[in-house]
Amino acid sequence: MRAAVYHRFGGPDVVSIERMPRPEPRAGELLVRVHAASVSIADHRVRARDVPRGLRVPTMLALGIRRPKHAVLGMDAAGVVERVGADVTGFRPGDRVVLLRGARFGCHAEYTTVSASGAVARIPDELSFLDAAALPFGFGTAETFLEAGGVSAGNDVLVNGASGAVGSAAVQLAKQRGATVTAVTSAGNAGLVRELGADRVIDYAREDFAAEAARYDVVVECVGNAPYRRSARALRAGGVLLLVIADLAGMLGSKLRPVRGGIRRIQDVGAVTGAHLEQFARLAASGAIRPVIDRVYQLDQIREAHAYVDTGRKRGNVMLLLADQTA
Ligand SMILES: NC(=O)c1ccc[n+]([C@@H]2O[C@H](COP(=O)([O-])OP(=O)(O)OC[C@H]3O[C@@H](n4cnc5c(N)ncnc54)[C@H](OP(=O)(O)O)[C@@H]3O)[C@@H](O)[C@H]2O)c1
């Protein structure tokens, strides 16, 4: 099969298209012919070793010290089940599915595998592979954080970084839960986040949300510039800070720093499951949520895709097409 492979850490040019053996599904696994996958900020972070301050050593231990532990990037994909391993029930060849491999990567390839009991779900016929593959990373992350924070109807929620893959999903899923949403973004993305349902937009170049009088029940931090010491000023007593991203100091601070007013700080959340993916696929097929797709690249254009993700300015998701198809 063809795959986007990298053997050393660095810029987009370390990635190239190579032929490699097709993976074999083990017992309990599905072999999936990948039609579309996302190129996410996680691919950027791992490939370039661009991780928040203080987290380089733990990241290296997990993902490779001298060379990459996983030669093929790509955390999520949508495609068609090609074969099933022994003992698989619930899926069969020909099923259209969406899946998340997460930190095991391996989706920027024509074939990948996933545990049938893991983060994989069938997708409705009316949902394209492209839209389906834009769901797991952003919506999975956003939903597990909103769940952990217990976001519910009537909450005032602020999403910092509302136009990224995670932020654009957090805005929509918080609205689905009946919250009132304030989105922090640049002026150029104000229209997008309003379309996604944001009730109010703050342009971060003009206003500091933490210096305003407004107070929120929940702050979803998706940028890395609003740790507890900043976000706490914008939270009501008993509020929740959802730290989707933080550097080591922010992570330790969130565990050690004394809280005021019973504010909860959450950085560890549950795993994304097949049930989550099934729910997102259903909501997307009905139009209740919209995966935001910024740019679409062919597998041969993988370096351009990485270079665009590296800008840190993508709107929602950057996608890769891997099969000849009408995705
Ligand atoms: N904890 C976890 O499990 C987990 C999972 C997934 C992701 N993450 C982390 O979550 C963060 C967000 O991920 P993502 O996929 O959403 O990233 P992304 O899609 O690359 O984010 C890009 C967006 O960030 C916005 N942005 C940049 N600077 C900003 C600022 N100062 N204020 C507000 N928005 C700003 C940009 O909008 P403008 O161009 O308008 O500035 C752009 O739309 C990343 O740091 C990622 O590593 C953590």
Q: 210 and 233 in contact (C-beta within 8 Å)?
A: yes
Task: With cut-offs at 50, 70 and 90, classify the pLDDT of residue 324.
Answer: low
β-bridge mates for residue 6, sequence order: 15
In this prediction, residue 42 carries a pLDDT of: 97
Question: Average pLDDT, stretch 273-285?
Answer: 98
Distance 272 CA to ligand 1 centre (A): 19
Task: With cut-offs at 50, 70 and 90, classify the pLDDT of residue 327.
Answer: very low
Q: Is the pLDDT of residue 146 over 60?
A: yes
Task: With cut-offs at 50, 70 and 90, classify the pLDDT of residue 280.
Answer: very high
164 lines ligand 1 (CB under 6 A): yes
Q: How far is CA 139 from CA 56, 215, 283, 289, in A?
A: 26, 25, 11, 10
Lowest mean pLDDT among 61-70, 159-168, 251-260: 251-260
CA angle 150, 151, 154 (to 5 degrees): 130
180 lines ligand 1 (CB under 6 A): no
Q: Whose CA is nearest to atom 11 of ligand 1?
A: 222
Distance 65 CA to ligand 1 centre (A): 25
Write the pLDDT tens digit of every residue in 294-319.
Answer: 999 999 999 999 999 999 999 999 99
Q: How far is CA 145 from CA 134, 174, 186, 200, 265, in A?
A: 18, 10, 23, 21, 11
What's the chain's average pLDDT?
A: 95
Task: With cut-offs at 50, 70 and 90, classify the pLDDT of residue 254.
Answer: low
Q: How far is CA 152 from CA 32, 173, 287, 310, in A?
A: 36, 10, 21, 34
Q: DSSP secondary-structure letter at 13?
A: G
CA atoms within 13 A on the CB side of 177: 24
Q: Is the pLDDT of residue 141 over 70?
A: yes
In this prediction, residue 323 carries a pLDDT of: 83
In this prediction, residue 40 carries a pLDDT of: 98
| Residues above pLDDT 70, as percent of the chain | 98
Q: Whose CA is nearest to atom 22 of ligand 1?
A: 164
Looking from the CA of residue 167, the nearest atom of ligand 1 is: 16
Looking from the CA of residue 269, the nearest atom of ligand 1 is: 3
Q: Whose CA is nearest to atom 2 of ligand 1?
A: 244
In this prediction, residue 325 carries a pLDDT of: 56
Q: Whose CA is nearest to atom 40 of ligand 1?
A: 186
140 lines ligand 1 (CB under 6 A): no
Structure-block tokens of residue 115: 């545990």
Q: Whose CA is nearest to atom 45 of ligand 1?
A: 245
113 lines ligand 1 (CB under 6 A): no
Distance 118 CA to ligand 1 centre (A): 26
Q: 279 and 173 in contact (C-beta within 8 Å)?
A: no
317 lines ligand 1 (CB under 6 A): no
Distance 215 CA to ligand 1 centre (A): 22
Q: 228 and 265 in contact (C-beta within 8 Å)?
A: yes
| Nearest of 76, 53, 1, 59 to residue 251 by alpha carbon | 53
Q: Is the pLDDT of residue 25 over 90?
A: yes
Looking from the CA of residue 144, the nearest atom of ligand 1 is: 3
pTM: 0.97
Write the pLDDT tens digit of every residue in 28-77.
Answer: 999 999 999 999 999 999 999 998 898 888 888 888 888 999 999 999 99
Q: Is the pLDDT of residue 320 over 70?
A: yes
Distance 166 CA to ligand 1 centre (A): 7
Q: Is the pLDDT of residue 326 over 70?
A: no
Task: With cut-offs at 50, 70 and 90, classify the pLDDT of residue 196.
Answer: very high
167 lines ligand 1 (CB under 6 A): yes
Q: Whose CA is nearest to atom 32 of ligand 1?
A: 161
Q: Whose CA is nearest to atom 39 of ligand 1?
A: 313
| Maximum Cα–Cα distance across the chain | 59
Distance 312 CA to ligand 1 centre (A): 7
Residue the block writes with tokens 């009316």: 126
Distance 6 CA to ligand 1 centre (A): 24
In this prediction, residue 283 carries a pLDDT of: 98
Q: What three-state secondary structure class fits 184?
A: strand
Our mutation pick for probing the ligand 1 site, out of 63, 75, 245, 309, counting the most ligand atoms within 8 A of Cβ, is 245
